[in-house]
Chain A
Amino acid sequence: MLLLSRHLDQAPHYHADVQHFLFGRECRAEDLPFSEKLIRAHVKNGFIAIRPGIIPLNETIFDLLSIRKKWLCARCGNRDQEAFAFCSCARCGKKCAYCRHCLNMGIIRSCTQLVTWQGPEPRVDQAFLDGRPLCKWEGVLSNEQQAAATAMKRTLAARESFLLWAVTGSGKTEIMYPAIDWQLRQGHHVTLATPRTDVVRELLPRLRDAFPEVPISGLYGGSEEEDLHAPLVISTAHQLIRYADRFDCVLIDEVDAFPFHFDPMLEYAVRKAAKPGTPFAYLSATPPSALKNRFLSGKLKGRKLARRYHGHPLPIPSFRWIGAWQKLVQRGKLPGVLQEWLKNKMEAQQQVFVFVPSVSAAAALTELLQRNGFSRSAGVHSGDPLRHQKVADFRAGKLRLLVTTTILERGVTIANVQVGVVGADDPVFDEAALVQISGRVGRSAAHPNGDVIFFHNGKTLSMVHAVRHMVQMNQEGGR
């Protein structure tokens, strides 16, 4: 180590291990597995930049003048002052502010320093790049899909952002393949960010099959993989916080589910993970109005796909009145309409998703169903420890009936599944959610039809808009 640092003093060289470890990442100084001396030498030569983890926020003149300081977390972008707390820190001996928002990635205090790599980019491991196409997917894209895929590839190659507005079940994942393939062959770092863990878990095996030679890393809360250096990273938005200035191309699947408006930290994370000027590809069946407007006014390039890949129209939901179902469930009675519909589906040997608005409703309804003879049923919600197991069982056909909250509204493909939304009038189910939920049905070419029933206690505007949205898409798709 001594020899090395003396060497470093003479000529501005960097250590390959440090470069490999730090490139495209942002780390706390205490997490670095290198000696302080080595790091200091790198800082001196400008290969490493250090900045404080918590920055005082002075946006307006009032912030400067007011006695109470405001803070900004440099790692997660948190500026909600409620989410900062204070402790008397034993390291610096002062009172430190810390960010409660990104605690589970290691605490950031006022005295914490964040380290980023500023030196040259490491060469990508070229082992899998030999000029041949990387995508080994053997399916065939329809003409419309092919056109969208080519447009996407070209637009991203020209370093411009792209919106793919495609109905549920139109094969969005496959449309991305040519673009991903091109980007990877340029030696670029690509990330596919999605809002939800379940979507990452669904996409990961599909992309591994399509790109067998490319190291792919899947990151979500609780994932075991720690290979942060893979050229293709499929990740939840939260996990992208670990990166900084790494990606040359960012694809965001289900962009409207990205709670951009709800949690600004996620947008901050995605922007930070990408290099400046990186093109973004947004994919969604129900794009948020800001993107939609930019697309329609021509400011954002994009394509609209109004037809499913198998050419059949979207199944249109039907409404069925269920009354005060919550009260019935509380009293331990299964609503008659629901029971009858479920019985029919079970007799027809079909699998059923039952969406409910809340975790408590999921628990109560599951228990009630099991008591009423629907034995192969289960309930899942975001906090369920057995959630992944239950979804896997449902996929394998071991479970026939799955009661779920909105966590499974997107990105889940199961052939010939039927959908009931109990309490579709609940404010949780907005237009986008209902469109997505209806999109679970009829995704395979063998079973292009199926039931989507909104069990409601009074129609809402969201329900009507959702149906109108799908009818309009079917018309545009020529059906």
Chain B
Amino acid sequence: MERCLFCGEMRGDPLSFHNLFSPDYAPGFCLSCREQLIPIDARHCCCLCGRDLSRLNRDRVVENRCSDCVKWARSGRNGLYVSNRAIYHYNPFLKEMINQFKFRGDVRLADGFAVELKRAYRHCEREQSGIFKRKPSFLLVPVPLSSERLLERGFNQADVLARQIGAPIVQALVRVRDEAKQSKKSRAERMRLRATPFRLNEKAAVRLSGHKILLIDDIYTTGATMRLASEALATARPHSIRSLTLIHG
């Protein structure tokens, strides 16, 4: 029996045909921890940013997209950036989890999200391909940290999550400036930031041209980071840019 990666209790998953004959299954979380995670249903989310529309006020929903995405479209800053897919809705429990993962450095927790990340990645692939078209393969680009922050934290959480998916990863971006943490900034401050802190990694840029790119990050909040990263990537002439995050918050 495996222990839960987060709370350390015995997993105690109910037996099913899936795990009946495999004594050791993938590391993960116990039932009571998983119950506290709120997955976002792909059918009821904003088709652009992946926000759970059923949790949003009626007046902020325009057809199948949220008012934020409508504003982004109007601002003309989208460029090659198409859409985001998020797996979980942000809640206090997930906040605690991310705190342990990102700020305390418990990289092991990422293993527990592997199955969901892979599933979401396949979902992104399926969206892209019609029935007869060849499956497009994405290149994964983790959103980088500045070198100072990377040294302080010891790892890049986006990179750790990207590794769980198992698709080719290209470290195409470099974060130049060490500005204040996004999570410490207000919404207005984030939107105001126009100059991109990202720079293209010239060596890796050659691999990007004509490819579909999937940016990976832990959390999508306003979408400003994604647009700024896309701006920097645009010079490498990729086919399109999408993103996949663990959380929409």
Binding site for B on A (CB under 8 A): 82, 85-91, 96, 98, 100, 103-104, 106-107, 109
Contacts and interface: CB of A to CB of B under 8 A. Distances in A.
A100 B106 contact: yes
Interface stretch (B67-75, B152-160, B192-200): B152-160
B154 A91 contact: yes
Contacts of B153: 90
Contacts of A100: 106, 108
A85 B105 CA distance: 11
Contacts, number: 39
Interface in B104-125: 104-108
Interface in B1-59: 3
A82 B150 CA distance: 26
B36 to A, nearest CB: 12
Given A82-B3, A103-B100, A90 B106 contact: no
Given A82-B3, A87-B160, A90-B150, A103 B155 contact: no
Contacts of A85: 106-108
Contacts of A98: 105, 107
Contacts of A106: 104
Nearest to B152: A30
A89 B107 CA distance: 10
B151 interface: yes
User: How would you classify the secondary structure of chain B's contact residues: helix, strand, loop or mixed?
Assistant: loop
A107 B154 contact: yes
Nearest to A109: B154
Contacts of A87: 105, 107-108, 154-155, 160
A378 to B, nearest CB: 21
Interface residues of B, number: 14
B108 A88 contact: no
A87 B104 CA distance: 13
Contacts of A90: 150-151, 153-156
Contacts of A109: 105, 154
A89 B104 contact: no
A358 to B, nearest CB: 13
Contacts of B151: 90-91
A87 B108 CA distance: 8
Contacts of B107: 85-87, 98
A103 B154 contact: no
Interface string B84-111: 0000000000000000100011111000
A85 B153 CA distance: 16
A86 B156 CA distance: 14
B154 to A, nearest CB: 5
Contacts of B108: 85, 87, 100
A103 B3 CA distance: 17
Nearest to B153: A90
26 contacts: A82-B3, A85-B107, A85-B108, A86-B107, A87-B105, A87-B107, A87-B108, A87-B155, A87-B160, A88-B155, A89-B154, A90-B153, A90-B154, A90-B155, A90-B156, A91-B151, A91-B154, A96-B154, A100-B106, A100-B108, A103-B104, A103-B105, A104-B104, A107-B105, A107-B154, A109-B105
A178 to B, nearest CB: 42
Interface in B149-172: 150-151, 153-156, 160
A401 to B, nearest CB: 27
A446 B100 CA distance: 49
Contacts of B106: 85, 100, 103, 107
A172 B47 CA distance: 66
B91 to A, nearest CB: 15
A104 B156 CA distance: 19
A103 B105 CA distance: 8
Nearest to A82: B3
Interface-centre pick from A90, A96, A98, A107 (highest chain B CB count, 10 A):
A90
A190 to B, nearest CB: 31
A100 B8 CA distance: 10
A106 B106 CA distance: 10
A360 to B, nearest CB: 10
Nearest to B7: A383
A86 to B, nearest CB: 8
Nearest to A89: B154
A85 B107 CA distance: 8
Contacts of A89: 154-155
Contacts of B104: 103-104, 106-107
B162 to A, nearest CB: 13
A100 B105 CA distance: 9
A403 to B, nearest CB: 21
A195 B37 CA distance: 32
